[in-house]
Amino acid sequence: MRADARRNRDRIVDVARALFRTKGFDAVSMDEVAKASEVGTGTLYRHFPTKETLYDAVLEAWADKVNAAVDAALALKAPAREQLISWLTEYATMLTAHKGAAARITASLGDPGSPFAAKCETYLSANRRMIEGLGPALRSEVEPMQVCRIVGGVAAVADSSELPADSVKGMLEIVADGLLAS
């Protein structure tokens, strides 16, 4: 990619990230992104044929962040409950980083045709790693998809009602207690 094309692409992604974060995915139009990025719509669509592909680009670096959060939680020198709460809290925070993303991603779980399928798989894999890492500390029937849907539901409520962080953490502590074996 030419340097000027790379700069345009990076600027589009940065502007789109800010717009998605403040307004939500559904409220942002591609024309708005092009105008705010100071590029023509042809340039925008050459890089991102759909709003979903633009959203994927916005969240690219996010997969590394998800994996780092699991690593950090599992590396804590703390009881399994604290490790789990650390992960669940970070997970909910990541889901609510972009207005409306929590509900959209959670609703897409299990749909391989969804434009957010890669994001869903990243969360499923992260929860699988967390479950494997905590092993017998968790109830034997806990599955990654269950954790995704439960935390996604909490995050969606938090996102739409703008609950304070301590309220969200309190709900996640209850979720963690339900996931633990004893």
Pair of tokens at residue 34: 């092009």
| Chain region(s) in the chain for CATH 1.10.357 | 62-179
Q: What is the structure's pLDDT at 119? A: 83
DSSP conformation class of 136: G
| Chain region(s) in the chain for CATH 1.10.10.60 | 3-58
The answer to whether the CB of 125 falls within 8 A of the CB of 168 is no
CATH, range 3-58: 1.10.10.60
Q: What is the structure's pLDDT at 149? A: 97
Question: Within 10 A of 58 (CB to CB), how many other CB atoms are there?
Answer: 23
The answer to whether the CB of 33 falls within 8 A of the CB of 19 is yes
Mean pLDDT of successive 10-residue stretches along the chain, which has 182 residues: 87 92 89 96 95 85 85 97 97 87 92 85 96 97 97 94 86 97 88
3-state class (DSSP) for residue 55: helix
Q: What is the structure's pLDDT at 177? A: 98
> Measured between alpha carbons, how far is 43 from 89 in angstroms, rounded to an integer?
38
**What is the pTM for the complete model shown?**
0.74
Q: What is the structure's pLDDT at 182? A: 80
3-state class (DSSP) for residue 180: strand
Residue carrying the six token digits 């494997």: 132
Pair of tokens at residue 65: 């962040």
Reported CATH class of domain 62-179: mainly alpha
Q: What is the structure's pLDDT at 61? A: 64
